[in-house]
Amino acid sequence: MDEYAEAVIGDKKILGVYIRGTDYITTNILGVSKQASVPDMVPMIRKWMDEYSFDGIFLATEDEGILRDMRAEFGSLVKIVA
């Protein structure tokens, strides 16, 4: 894992973002907060990227649509473990 982290992240300053997808949205578990959508999260991610001078975003998700939407917003700044 250390070798992978070094290859993907290196000495860059990376913002970690975890966005649950289909599994979380479709279960409708009572008493659990609703996951924010990518459009809901983009303004805060942009704020953090600017405010803290992050070099990229490490995205944790199991949802292909979330990955697609994040890449549409942030392009090659989005890094994942595939």
Q: In tens digits, what is the pLDDT along the chain, a chain of 82 residues?
A: 778 777 777 788 999 999 877 655 555 666 666 678 899 999 999 999 999 999 999 999 888 999 999 999 999 999 987 6
- Amino acid in the structure at residue 62: E
Question: Which of 57, 59, 47, 54 has its CA nearest to residue 19?
Answer: 59
pLDDT at 23: 59
Residues 63 and 41: beta-carbon distance below 8 Å: no
Q: Indicate the pTM of the whole model.
A: 0.79
Distance CA 73, CA 34 (A): 22
